[in-house]
Amino acid sequence: MAQVSLRRLTKTYDGGVAAVKAIDLEIADREFVVLVGPSGCGKTTTLRMIAGLEEVTAGEIRIGGEVVNDIPPRDRDIAMVFQNYALYPHMTVFENMAFGLKLRGFPREEIARRVDRAARILGLGELLDRKPKALSGGQRQRVAMGRAIVRDPKVFLFDEPLSNLDAQLRVQMRTEIKAVHQTVKTTTVYVTHDQVEAMTLADRVVVMNQGRIEQAGPPGELYANPATRFVAGFIGSPAMNMIPARLVPTAAALAVALEGGPTLPVPAERTARYAAHVGRDLLFGIRPEHVTEATRTDKPNLAPIDVTLDVVEPMGMETLVHFRLGRTSVCARVDPQAAGAPGEAMRLAVQMDRMHLIDPATDRVL
Amino acid sequence: MDAATSAANRDFPKLYRRAGSLSRERAWALRAAYASLGFAAVIFLAPPVYMLITSLKTNAEMADQSLSPWFVREPTLEHYAAILGNPLFLGFFRNSIIVTLIVVAITMAVSVPAAFALSRMRFWGSTTLATGVFLTYLVPDTLLFIPLYQIVGSLGLLNSIWGLVLVYPTLTVPFCTWIMIGYFASIPKELDEAALIDGASWLQMLLRIFVPVALPGIIAATIFAFTVSWAAFVYPTAFITKPEAMPLTIGVVSQLVRGDTFAWGQIMAGALLAALPPVVVYVFLLDYYIAGLTAGATKG
Ligand SMILES: Nc1ncnc2c1ncn2[C@@H]1O[C@H](COP(=O)(O)OP(=O)(O)OP(=O)(O)O)[C@@H](O)[C@H]1O
Ligand SMILES: [Mg+2]
């Protein structure tokens, strides 16, 4: 059990690729942190530096308070689950899990006890004598996790462990990983590019982009209060609508004039926050789930907006409707009963207290 | 049938019918494969079969021009008895075995770590080095034996099997390294990384994880090294003139000739016996080679 801290951590590959740019991150003991971001943003590189598989160009990594920059992987007391599992093909499931313990000189009974426990946690009991090639993808995934669990290391590192599984198994294994963490409570750093995985698993989500940390916080916080345009667009599916807009003063407070659309009143409590940006070109950000049918009355600060529907996508529980405001295509999530047909007019309501204003010059959320 | 084929069938039914059914095409492909394999087998097996037939004939039968050379009328093992009782021949055999075993051991001790380093570690000039290793293999031994003669001579190793032990690795190491680089590169590097994280030292990782997984590639290289040093002809011809130090390849053809009389029966029997060890090695190692031990390491 240990905390992990990254200080000004930097990695520049030989060819001059700056993969990780001076990131700072404090991971608490027992915390489950998920690094998420688009392909090539430096997630794997960060994880491999923590594991000791990649040299650190600059900065510092501490595990349990100790600087580990120059300590080889085997002495860092970490365990890693790889995307392709990397099971030892010539060893049985038992031997795969026991290998690390044998190398560390554990007595035979202790090894058997630990492998047994891990096998029980992961439901691998009957498979202990099999070779990896006789296992299904999900079972291999479990063995890879078992190999990490038996060592009882200070930190678990996962690099996209579920991306080779089919959709159904992925959801099942996701729940299983969460259950395992709740049982063993080992500090975990988990890399994925799937934001749903990030939201469901994490105590804290770290969104990376182009080698930098855009924002770190609990899933709900990132969803409700994204700090940058990138996070606002990356977290949430379907993605947040961003409509060019201008902030205009009204008699009582402020309003946003949407390009090619109506002018909507800004909630009174935000007047002070936005006052300095009146008259500037901004982006009005609103999630599809916060643009709903106008017949709903249980929410405060609803601003009505009349649109003509372009595309209607029924999803079962709800229906996505798309319409245009000026140059921008906007998505709204409405009740299946309320949705009109393509080409029809519909009155929607925007939940203005869920709105965001983004400054396109700095890409920051105001 | 994969998705693309069935899509093509659906979209172009006429075209498909003209091409014939898949099973019929398969049958033709099989017939063609057997025909060409059979042809190759005849060409490659005719000389050893001829050797076997000749080695079983008496000298009189061999000399009789009126008989078909492809049949034995009075089979005899006298040539085998003669050659196995010939201390010179047994000496050739011993020399070949000693030289080959040591050369294979040296080759593997050098090539496995070299191929591992060149396939796994990226260091300055590693790709150039890998290409260079292969290029040295392309220089033919018929060209190299002249400078090597000087070297072996100055070391006082002419007419000694140790001279052969010294020069054969110049043939085996580059090629074995090269084929193993290719094989090792196909082994996911996460496997060694997992072992390092599990607590293995580099040596433990190499011996307990990497070598067992890379065994098919290593065995292919071993077979090659064995064959090359067992069958080497140019170097022993150039460096060895004393019968006691000769390996089988040159011993059989140079020492079983008395003046201008060729002891054909013994030469054939000796050559066949000389060809036996590589066959035995192939048969034992090929199972491993084909087994493909990497199955199941990764997602699969
Ligand atoms: N060995 C390497 N040598 C040079 N550049 C590399 C190397 N490994 C990664 N990079 C580069 O570093 C950047 C970050 O790569 P990294 O693998 O960390 O991305 P990632 O966030 O894990 O992406 P993905 O989601 O695709 O796995 C990329 O631009 C990549 O091309
Ligand atoms: Mg990655």
Residue by residue, pLDDT tens for chain A (366 residues) are: 688 999 999 999 888 888 889 899 999 999 999 999 988 899 999 999 999 999 899 989 999 888 888 899 988 989 999 988 899 998 999 999 999 999 989 999 999 999 998 888 888 888 888 898 888 888 888 899 889 889 888 999 999 888 887 888 888 888 888 888 888 888 999 999 888 888 899 999 999 999 899 999 999 999 999 999 999 988 888 889 999 988 888 877 888 888 887 888 888 888 888 888 888 888 999 999 999 888 766 677 788 888 888 999 998 888 999 999 888 899 999 988 888 888 888 888 888 888 998 998 888 888
List A257's β-bridge partners, or say none.
A246, A263
Q: What is the DSSP letter of A238?
A: S
Q: How far does CA A353 lie from the centroid of its chain?
A: 24
Percent of chain B exceeding pLDDT 90 equals 24
A164 and A101 both lie in a single domain: yes
Between B259 and B179, the more confident residue is: B179
pLDDT digits (tens, 9 = 90+) for B59-102: 888 888 888 888 888 888 888 998 888 888 899 999 999 999 99
Q: Is the pLDDT of residue B112 over 70?
A: yes
**Phi and psi torsions of A327, nearest 5°:** -85, -10
Q: Is A121 in the pocket of ligand 1 (CB under 6 A)?
A: no
List A284's β-bridge partners, or say none.
A243, A357
User: Can you tell me which atom of ligand 1 is nearest the CA of A47?
Assistant: 18
* Chain B residues whose beta carbon lies within 8 Å of the beta carbon of residue A133: 295-296, 300
Q: How far apart (Å, rounded) are the C-alpha atoms in residues B13 and B29?
A: 23
Q: For chain B, first and last CA: distance in Å?
A: 20
List A5's β-bridge partners, or say none.
A26, A62
What's the token pair of residue B198? 């599990």
Peptide bond preceding A238: is omega within 30 degrees of 0, i.e. cis? Answer: yes
**Phi and psi torsions of A78, nearest 5°:** -125, 165
* Confidence (pLDDT) at A35: 92
pLDDT digits (tens, 9 = 90+) for B116-128: 988 887 777 878 8
Q: How far does CA A351 lie from the centroid of its chain?
A: 25
**Phi and psi torsions of A345, nearest 5°:** -85, 150
Nearest CA-CA distance, residue B74 and chain A, Å: 53
Angle at which helices B87-120 and B248-255 pack, to 10 degrees?
150
- Inter-chain CB pairs, A–B, below 8 Å: 88
A111 and A198 both lie in a single domain: yes
Q: What is the DSSP letter of B78?
A: H
A221 and A137 both lie in a single domain: yes
List A205's β-bridge partners, or say none.
A34, A217
* Confidence (pLDDT) at B290: 59
Nearest CA-CA distance, residue A168 and chain B, Å: 16
pLDDT digits (tens, 9 = 90+) for B24-66: 888 889 999 999 999 999 999 998 899 899 889 888 888 888 8
* Confidence (pLDDT) at B145: 86
Pairing of strands A241-249, A254-258: antiparallel
**Phi and psi torsions of A16, nearest 5°:** 95, 5
Q: Which amino acid is at A265?
A: P
Give me the residue label for tokens 């690795």.
B169
Q: Is the pLDDT of residue B257 over 80?
A: no
Residue A132: which of B193, B194, B297 has the nearest Cβ?
B297
How far lies B144's CA from each of B133, B136, B148, B225, B250, in Å? 16, 10, 6, 18, 19
Distance A159 CA to ligand 2 centre (A): 7
* Confidence (pLDDT) at A158: 92
C-beta atoms surrounding B269 within 10 Å = 27
A34 and A176 both lie in a single domain: yes
CATH number, residue A266 = 2.40.50.140
Q: Is A229 in the pocket of ligand 1 (CB under 6 A)?
A: no
Q: Are A267 and A301 in contact (CB under 8 A)?
A: yes
Residue B295: which of A73, A79, A89 has the nearest Cβ?
A89
Q: How far apart (Å, rounded) are the C-alpha atoms in residues B291 and A332?
A: 57
Nearest CA-CA distance, residue A332 and chain B, Å: 36
Q: How far does CA A115 lie from the centroid of its chain?
A: 31
A101 and A213 both lie in a single domain: yes
CATH number, residue A88 = 3.40.50.300
* Confidence (pLDDT) at B23: 81
C-beta atoms surrounding A301 within 10 Å = 17
Q: How far apart (Å, rounded) are the C-alpha atoms in residues B116 and B148?
A: 28
* Cβ-based neighbours of B100, under 8 Å, separated by 6 or more: B226, B229, B230
Least Cα distance to A155 among A35, A53, A72, A33 occurs for A33
Q: How far apart (Å, rounded) are the C-alpha atoms in residues A208 and A41?
A: 6
**Phi and psi torsions of A61, nearest 5°:** -120, 130
C-beta atoms surrounding B121 within 10 Å = 8
Number of domains in chain A: 2
A130 and A268 both lie in a single domain: no
Q: Are B246 and B92 in contact (CB under 8 A)?
A: yes
Nearest CA-CA distance, residue A144 and chain B, Å: 10
pTM of the model: 0.78
pLDDT digits (tens, 9 = 90+) for B237-248: 989 988 888 998
Q: How far apart (Å, rounded) are the C-alpha atoms in residues A211 and A10?
A: 9
A31 and A180 both lie in a single domain: yes
Collapsing DSSP to helix, strand or coil, A341 comes out as: coil
Give me the residue label for tokens 């009075």.
B74
List A247's β-bridge partners, or say none.
A256
What's the token pair of residue B105? 């051991």
A182 and A296 both lie in a single domain: no
Q: What is the CA radius of gyration of chain A?
A: 25
A97 and A220 both lie in a single domain: yes
Collapsing DSSP to helix, strand or coil, A263 comes out as: strand
Residue A270 domain boundaries: 241-365
A59 and A143 both lie in a single domain: yes
Q: How far apart (Å, rounded) are the C-alpha atoms in residues B236 and A209?
A: 65
Q: How far apart (Å, rounded) are the C-alpha atoms in residues A148 and B198?
A: 9
Query: Nearest residue of B to residue A138 by CA position?
Result: B299
How far lies A117's CA from each of A113, A124, A149, A207, in Å? 6, 10, 9, 34
Q: How far apart (Å, rounded) are the C-alpha atoms in residues B33 and B20?
A: 19
**The residue count for chain A:** 366
Q: How far apart (Å, rounded) are the C-alpha atoms in residues B90 and B270?
A: 10
Q: Are B277 and B249 in contact (CB under 8 A)?
A: no
Pairing of strands A187-192, A32-36: parallel
A228 and A295 both lie in a single domain: no
* Chain B residues whose beta carbon lies within 8 Å of the beta carbon of residue A82: 190, 193-194
Helix H or strand E encompassing A215: strand A212-217
Query: Looking at A186, A203, A234, which one is the last position of a domain?
Result: A234
Q: How far apart (Å, rounded) are the C-alpha atoms in residues B184 and B203?
A: 16
pLDDT digits (tens, 9 = 90+) for B160-178: 999 999 999 988 999 899 8
List A319's β-bridge partners, or say none.
A314, A334
List A264's β-bridge partners, or say none.
A256
Residue A73 touches chain B, beta carbons under 8 Å: yes
Listing from the earlier edge strand, what are the strands of the sheet with A345-351? A291-293, A345-351, A302-314, A319-325, A328-334
Where does the pLDDT of residue B193 fall: very low under 50, low under 70, confident under 90, or very high at 90 and above? very high
Q: Is A19 in the pocket of ligand 1 (CB under 6 A)?
A: yes
Distance A51 CA to ligand 2 centre (A): 14
Pairing of strands A4-12, A58-63: antiparallel
* Cβ-based neighbours of A274, under 8 Å, separated by 6 or more: A247, A254, A266, A357, A366
Buried b (16+ CB within 10 A) or exposed e, A165-201: beeebbeebbebbeebbeebebbbbbbbbbbebbbeb
A216 and A281 both lie in a single domain: no
Q: Is A15 in the pocket of ligand 1 (CB under 6 A)?
A: yes
Is the Cβ pair A88, B195 closer than 8 Å?
yes
Collapsing DSSP to helix, strand or coil, B151 comes out as: helix
Q: Is A41 in the pocket of ligand 1 (CB under 6 A)?
A: yes
**Phi and psi torsions of A356, nearest 5°:** -130, 150
Q: Is A275 in the pocket of ligand 1 (CB under 6 A)?
A: no
